[in-house]
Chain A
Amino acid sequence: MTIVKSVTCPVCGCLCDDIELVVEDGKVEEVKNGCAICESKFIGYRGEHRVLKPKIRQNGKLVDTTLQEAVKKSAEILANANYPILYGWSSTSCEAQRVGVELAEEVGGVLDNTAVVCHGPSILGIQEVGIPSCTLGQVRHRADLVIYWGCDPWSAHPRHVERYTTFAEGRFEGSEWKGYLQKFKAAAGRKKIKRVMKQAPVKNPPSIEPVTPSEPPQKMKKDGRKLIVVDVRRTMTAEVADYFIQVEPNKDYELMEALRALVRDQELDVNSVAGISVECLEELVDIMIGCNFGIIFFGLGLTMSAGKFRNIDVAISLTRDLNMRTKFAIMPMRGHFNVTGSNTVFTWQTGYPFGVDFSLGYPRYNPGETTSVDVLLRRESDAALVIASDPVANFPKKAVQHLVKNPLIVIDPHMNATSLMADVVFPSAFVGIEVGGTAYRMDHVPLPLKKVVDPPEGVLSDKEILNRILEETRKIKLKQVEAA
């Protein structure tokens, strides 16, 4: 039995790197410090859907084959394609991504990552107005106002609040977990009373105050860290928040603009915006201006609802405005553990973060034209390589139809919907468990991923598989040039 410390968790953009693993007989037996998702990944990665042998489609069926055969077939597909798509990348290491860029350049394809259906609008927003941001430690040490907008870290980034924001202990701001503990107890107590009331034969039961009032509660004006959640529904995070603002669906843009107007001391001539009274917004703005260090974290509730990148544009603009009055930052809650890394790698090698088109021999970027979904919808691609992702399950139906019509190569540790439709399937080692590498946290802090156990025999890393395909593709291309 060995204990491996300081393991980086390859699940979400939080990249918690304090995980301790107990490893026995080449298996992870116990996970310490991790959240539920982390634990299920480290324990449950050897699931029934694991692929151990490369597969190739013959007579309409996926059959086992050798690695050499699979590499050869993939290289043929890519070398003969005019406009292949190389998609995925967000759940693999930067080392593999670097090979990926080289491969995309070699075959003149479109290189795209999952940001295109996730935080792509955030990047477009940033390219419009910039982004005042910081690392998560800065939030931990300084933030006395944390706003989660359109995201639910309690469910999706479970340790975010504990490690980096309201419940974390910083140099200038303390943890608020004690207050929340009391609040939880009170909430549980209220529930109990309610239950008793229901059963008790009382004619006029005393009223119980609602969990969150419509106006910001008094404690919002006190010192210490404050947590606000803005969402269309009462999420798990909203339950722990000091103040929950329920915005009407698709009205985030309006609400942000109203806040911007109030930050700039303009008067609003309406009574409510996006379902929230203006008095309430005025108080909210005062809280925002009055803080020492505020931060907005936003998720897909903002990027993928009506307005898309305009929502991000206005959210960042609000943050810019607030910086005229106090210190304020904003950060996207990136999902996959290395989606930030793939944007970073693509940017330093090609200048662009996603949707990079190499068909002219140099990197070109025009979201809406060179992004994978759009290429598929225009039916322009004639092959695809998908790595560490499952577009068949996530892309629009028409895009999927075109994707599977053409030769498709999949590199993934699991069988997923996309690999079931593929022509070549490579099993790969789990990044961050069976193979090391580098990943970038949502705030662009690079962290090393550890190799904890050996991969199953014959299963290679993403990087190695890509390298072999690249080498083979170059050979075929060279032959083609010589023949010509």
Chain B
Amino acid sequence: MELLIKNGFVFDPINGINSEKMDIAIKNGKIVDSIQEKNAKVIDASGLTVMPGGVDIHSHIAGGEVNAGRLLRPEDHVKDVERKTAITRSGVGYSIPSTFTTGYRYSRMGYTTIMNPSMSPLEAKHTHEELSDIPMVDKASYPLLGDWWFVLEYLQKGDLEECARHIAWMMETVKGYAIKIVNPGGLESWGFGRNVHSIDDRVPGFDVTPREIICGLCKVNKMLNLPHTIHLHTNNLGVPGNYATTLETMKCLEDLAGDDKPVAHITHLQFSSYKGRDWRTMKSGAEEIANYVNNHSHLTMDMGQVIFTDTTTMTADGPFQFNLYNLTGHKWVNHDVETETSGGIVPFRYRRKNVVNATQWSIGLELALLIKDPWKIFLTTDHPNGGPFTAYPKIIAWLISKKARMATLKRTHPKAIKRSILSSIDREMSLYEIAVVTRGGTSKALGLKHKGHLGVGADGDVAIYDLNPESIDLPTDYKVVRKAFSRAKYTIKGGQVLVKDGEVLQEMYGKTMWLNVETDEPCRIPEEMKTKFRDYWTVEFDNYPVSDHYLRSQSPITVKASI
């Protein structure tokens, strides 16, 4: 099928196209130079904004943790339901939508690729079963590897090559896309109810430090030439004063940056940018972090923006969730996974009139606005930790309009205004910059060659929004922008029109991407693994891998490692 999108204002940052009036042609699911108009379905995009399909770099949409959150919170679903239609399946929201609903809602906002950032390898089949039930988008998942016993043991020995081989084996075995590290060392400590509090604390039972884990895996990532960098959730996340730990973490990676390319992605940075001794004195550390980031080029980040709403926090960071439970006394799920990781869930309401929550809200926006280069920091809410992904249009409005920010800031706790410098920031992002932080930048950071841009050969994933960049004044008309981004005029995936005017026209299942890492030396891991397997896990070696059966439709990406 051929599709021609005519006369839209195209924003394609990767190819440097900024609001140019041009046609986009799609043939056999890929962007092509041109097609014959008479054979093609034509969409008249005059006066509309055309962007590549959105790429979310960090959103918890599937897996054991997410599903435990769903089970935990019937009260979250009852207020937000989706009826079955002739085309779509039924489901529920709100902060942790059921799988089908997740796909439809992303698609309605013009998103076409979603990265699920946390998958415990032992339960990877579960994650993939759920991902297979999420329609409308392409997806991938990052296995949690920072506290895997094999990693800790090989780093302790200093055998990086063997560590790298194991990670390569793991990527293929659990069909993962990037190395996810969560509170390195802290999760292993949490096995006995403890935690690490700086990047130089020793991990109990293993002679390594978080610093060694981070740097070691960063080097491994380079050896394996993985498309994305390590994806790092820092130590001391969500603790007042943690901006110092974050800066230290950033600094320890400086030496590893050879060329100008980033070597690490610090995720949901907002949660790692707090100053102060305790919650009473907590204030924003965004300025210090932003200063550092503006002077260095070895990192990418995402916001982890907080939304004032009732949501469900879930991370693999068990000790952090335990602290949150202590703070709130709310329902608490903990789920430690043998030899690999942990996890926790606590429902949480971010309140405007709570000084800490209001400050958290400010910090996310401060970071996005103070870090000058939009290619470094991307838009996320760490769904559902800061708020559901359906709030992205709200964040876009705050980013493009000081008026929008001030309107919300005014209604927050009065003390919160003094705890950050948000009110003094005048920067207002352009649509081009919004395209960077929601698709171009994320896709580049992820190393997705065929996503996030509209150059010839890219996937035919396009979002069209009802915005006329010529006639609109973004800062004043932020409400129009917000509305436009919540209901895409068209969402096109692989050349198929999936959504029109915010309504799903057809259901389509995207592909699951995973890395097939080829190492030089023939892999002798299975033999060694088999002997150790029964000691480490409670399942058999043969039953551990994620077979093709668990992927509805897949797109393996072959990577040539340099070991």
- A residues lining the B interface (CB < 8 Å): 5-6, 8, 17-18, 94, 98, 102, 105, 123, 126-138, 140-142, 163-164, 169, 171-172, 292-293, 320, 323-324, 326-327, 329, 343-344, 347-353, 358, 360-365, 438, 440, 444-448
Contact = CB atoms under 8 A, between A and B. Distances in A.
Contacts, number: 187
A6 B543 contact: yes
A172 B205 CA distance: 9
B155 to A, nearest CB: 17
Contacts of A137: 122, 337-339, 536-538
B130 interface: yes
A350 B92 contact: yes
Contacts of A8: 543
A132 B339 contact: no
Contact of A444 (B92, B322, B335, B338): B335
B71 A363 contact: no
B67 interface: yes
Given A361-B84, A447-B539, A347 B71 contact: yes
Contacts of B336: 133-135, 138, 329
Nearest to B98: A351
A323 B70 contact: no
A164 B338 CA distance: 11
Interface in B390-439: none
Query: Dominant SS at the A interface?
Result: mixed
Nearest to B62: A348
A132 B90 contact: no
Given A6-B541, A140-B338, A351 B74 contact: yes
B72 A446 contact: no
Contacts of B83: 360-362
Contacts of B337: 134-135, 137-138
A224 B487 CA distance: 60
Number of chain B interface residues as a range: 35 or more
10 contacts: A17-B539, A134-B336, A141-B191, A293-B191, A349-B100, A351-B74, A362-B81, A362-B91, A362-B92, A363-B81
Contact of B126 (A127, A293, A327, A344): A344
Nearest to A436: B549
Interface stretch (B299-307, B326-334, B456-464): B326-334
Given A135-B337, A348-B67, A362-B91, A130 B345 contact: yes
A105 B335 contact: no
Interface in B539-562: 539-543, 547, 549-550
B99 interface: yes
A206 B89 CA distance: 74
A346 to B, nearest CB: 9
B126 A132 contact: no
Contacts of A131: 333-334
Contacts of A293: 191-193
Nearest to A172: B205
B312 to A, nearest CB: 11
A163 B332 CA distance: 28
B129 interface: yes
B503 interface: no
Given A135-B122, A350-B91, A365 B74 contact: yes
B91 to A, nearest CB: 7
Contacts of B543: 6, 8, 17, 447-448
Best-surrounded residue of B325, B338, B547 (most CB of chain A within 10 A): B338
A136 B338 contact: yes
B98 A349 contact: yes
A363 B538 contact: no
Given A132-B334, A348-B130, A362-B90, A142 B98 contact: no
Contact of B91 (A5, A329, A349, A446): A349
Given A349-B98, A351-B92, A363-B90, A142 B129 contact: no
Given A344-B67, A445-B539, A351 B91 contact: yes
